Amino acid sequence: MDLTFEMVKKNTIFKDRHVLTELKPPGGKFVHRENQKKELILELAPLLSSQRASNLFVYGVPGTGKTALMSYLADELKTHATRDGVPMQTVYVNCSAAKTDTLILLAVLRQLSPKHKIPKAGVNRSTVIRQFLKHLKDEALNLLIVLDEIDMALKSSGDDILYFLSRVKDDPRVRTNVCTVIISNDVKVPSYLQPKTQSSFGRAKIVFPRYDAAELTAILRDRAKHAFCDGVLAGGVIQKIAALEARSGGDAREACELLYACGKTVIATGQNQVTLGVVDSAHKHLESDTLLNVICLLTLHQKLLLRALLECPLPTSTSNAAFSDYLSLCHHAKTPPLSRRRIQSFLVQFDDANLIASQMGYDKSLGKKTRCITIPYPKEVVAKVLARLR
């Protein structure tokens, strides 16, 4: 169909498509996150009385509502503080972009003093710390610092920033009441911290578990009633999307993305309803696009290993068989192979990135434990990826 801007503009599919892409849910209704919301409120409420609040660890896999809920509660804190006349500021830093303590403190300072000119580069660590401490000594306020994806900073430059922030309030000259919340997708974050940092930072932890199919169904229904016109979604569509995403990781963000893709598919094909067949089509398209984008970022040897795994004729492979097939492809490509240990690390990375599904099991023929590997994608997607790899 010849699609035009006018046709898309006049579509009768979406009522408000942005509801499916916004971080916070409509009306601030966080479905199946009531317990986490209560825990966070209890921990952060002392700030509204200018009292010390505990530093917090917030854990959970991607798409489980950590950042959205924390952002919502930070806004609520500011609203209540303004109403009650409590001096309050909240700052948010994504540590995937600011991976050192200097860059993190610079980002915090820019939000605390937007009018103050702070250079983007060429500032040493001691200068930034001095400016930050000066601000805390000059201003009597309650400060909430949210550090998202903290594992990126910890892996890159260690835990100095957390130790520093945890000890700031012990300085009698500091007038600002500081509370730090760190958010991570990596449950191994405590292992990146030195014992002194763990002791100083505190033990308060709030876990966001994966969503199951029933929970994703409730989330999608809540968003869909705001996003789509009446009668657009056929029966069973939301349940099917929820089941698909629950199996692949319980990511609410990806579930909303698939529902949005279904709406766009209907508009592009001139239909007037999202059916189960549309869900299948949109799901395959998204999976294929995701995989193709990921493999473009792989190194040569990672591509060779992935090709070896995808070309395996058996439904389940092992790390030993994968290494053998990888060696054959290296010989064919006239490329010196990497070590077995390096290939094992690639398999772990592939599993973390959902390129494969694997678990440790016992191989009787080898007489030892090995990694059992399956490919969690339809044959059509695998064929498309293999064509690109070759």
Per-residue model confidence as pLDDT tens for the chain (390 residues): 678 888 888 888 999 999 999 988 988 889 899 999 999 999 999 999 999 999 999 998 888 999 999 999 999 999 999 999 999 999 999 998 888 889 999 999 999 987 767 666 667 888 889 989 999 999 899 999 999 999 888 887 888 999 999 998 888 899 999 999 999 987 778 777 888 888 888 778 999 999 999 999 999 999 999 999 999 999 999 999 999 999 878 899 999 999 999 999 999 888 889 999 999 988 888 876 667 777 878 889 999 998 999 888 877 788 888 899 999 999 988 889 999 889 988 888 888 777 888 777 666 666 667 788 888 777 777 887 788 788
Domain ranges of the chain: 5-20+211-294, 33-208, 298-389
Q: What was the pLDDT predicted at 362?
A: 63
DSSP state of 26: G
Asked if 337 contacts 326 with a C-beta cutoff of 8 angstroms, the reply is yes
Helix (H, G, I), strand (E, B) or coil at 110: helix
- Architecture of the structural domain at 5-20+211-294: Orthogonal Bundle (1.10)
- The matching CATH number, chosen from 3.40.50.700, 2.70.170.10, 3.90.650.10, 3.40.50.300, for 33-208 is 3.40.50.300
Q: How many CB atoms lie within 10 A of CB 58?
A: 26
Q: What is the pLDDT of residues 101-132, one digit of tens each?
A: 899 999 999 999 877 676 666 678 888 899 89
Q: What is the pLDDT of residues 204-233, one digit of tens each?
A: 899 999 999 999 999 999 999 999 999 999
The CATH class given to the 298-389 domain equals mainly alpha
Asked if 256 contacts 242 with a C-beta cutoff of 8 angstroms, the reply is no
Residue 361's H or E segment, with its range, is strand 357-363
Whole-angstrom distance, CA of residue 166 vs CA of residue 375: 44
Comparing CA positions, the residue from 311, 313, 298 lying closest to residue 350 is: 298
Distances (CA, A) of 58 to 55, 150, 157, 204: 10, 10, 20, 9
